[in-house]
Homo-oligomer: A and B are copies of this chain.
């Protein structure tokens, strides 16, 4: 980092929404009409440098997250980047444990989404300040420094600082080789773009054909609204992709525990690798029961996109309640909290397969999963990152997919910066796009 102190003198946040519900993009069993949105944060230093951050939402309620970001901004503005990163754990704690605001969380829901947006901007600023893409900042950071960014409060019974350090130090071996491999091949991805719940069979077929032609081998289908429909759609897609490609199914929390087991058992013949979000994202013991019941069928349980903090992930791991950890770059408290989850997942030997899609989630999470492979897990077994081909055109440095792999970003930062024109056009409710729809 430049020796000069960069003081954050300004934070702005805007409510940016895309009217995706018009075409049922992103529709699932519980979110039938999502308008993909973000609370978009820009921080600015006294030296004119910017950091960009966001958290993902699905329309109504984004204004509440914006309000929460505004409440947090007083804790950020006036601090220097140097001061923050010299004790990032302390700064994380400051944001998440404010003596008054923690009551309305703590570390969950709106306030944690807001924390993510703010801290994503700080990490973006840090990476830009070092002239590196975020994944590279992380990969090249001293393990002790990395550890100093994590708040271990409430997880020391599962992972101590010493154990975390040990994991990172061990993974130094072969690191450069993995960096080179990633730069050459990229990180494996799967697609969710073919089979949203609101899509017709015809559209599904067409998208699936296109995807196969583009080299995709792993496909996710939304299920959970109607069993007959699910059987038809799963059968259709399994036919299309053949027996050797990978199929995953996603119920988006539609079922109770017993129902999940019955329903998924009926879909077992289509050989899904996992059932994602079978029930409430809060139900650790429920997921454990489902995992146990489905294991003999060779179906794993995946969850995490609405797992609200490291304490929940800790328990999912402790209880063997998931077989795939789906971190999210905007639900957890930014990179800081995701580092804790990646390290715990490694200790418990559970692969991480990030959640992405929405607006910007692919752009952000690719950095984290690259770091996971290069500096933590050193494995690609049973690992892949979600990809949805949507709304990337609104970003300054959109994801690059080649042959169904995420190619490592090269621009400095956390890939959060949106095109100012896109932001202005989609600002809610005053942007042109929304004015036209009124």
Residues of A within 8 A of B (CB): 30-35, 57-61, 63-65, 67-68, 71, 97-113, 153-157, 253, 256-258, 279-286, 289, 306, 308-309, 311-312, 314-315, 318-319
Contacts and interface: CB of A to CB of B under 8 A. Distances in A.
A95 to B, nearest CB: 12
A280 B311 contact: yes
A109 B281 CA distance: 14
A309 B285 contact: no
A256 B156 CA distance: 7
Given A101-B61, A157-B258, A280-B311, A285 B110 contact: no
3 shortest A-B CB distances, which residue pairs?
A109-B109, A59-B100, A110-B110
A330 to B, nearest CB: 11
Contacts of A318: 285
A59 B99 CA distance: 9
Given A110-B111, A283-B154, A306-B106, A31 B100 contact: yes
B61 A64 contact: no
A256 to B, nearest CB: 5
A111 B111 contact: no
Contacts of A103: 31, 34, 57-58, 61, 306
B311 A283 contact: yes
Nearest to A279: B154
Given A31-B99, A157-B289, A281 B106 contact: yes
Contacts of A155: 256
Nearest to A104: B61
Count of this chain's copies in the oligomeric assembly:
2
A71 B282 CA distance: 24
A286 B256 contact: no
Given A64-B71, A104-B109, A154-B279, 13 more contacts: A57-B103, A58-B103, A61-B98, A63-B71, A64-B104, A65-B104, A103-B306, A106-B281, A108-B282, A109-B109, A109-B308, A110-B110, A155-B256
A315 B99 contact: no
B256 A99 contact: no
Contacts of A314: 283
A157 B286 contact: yes
A415 to B, nearest CB: 22
A285 B102 contact: no
Contacts of A258: 156-157
Contacts of A311: 280, 282-283, 286
Contacts of A97: 30
B257 A60 contact: no
B154 A110 contact: no
Nearest to A17: B100
A58 B103 CA distance: 7
A311 B112 CA distance: 20
Contacts of A282: 107-108, 154, 308-309, 311-312, 315
A58 to B, nearest CB: 4
20 contacts: A31-B103, A33-B99, A57-B104, A58-B103, A59-B100, A63-B67, A63-B71, A64-B64, A64-B68, A64-B104, A104-B109, A106-B281, A109-B112, A109-B308, A154-B257, A156-B258, A157-B257, A157-B258, A280-B311, A282-B312
A276 to B, nearest CB: 16
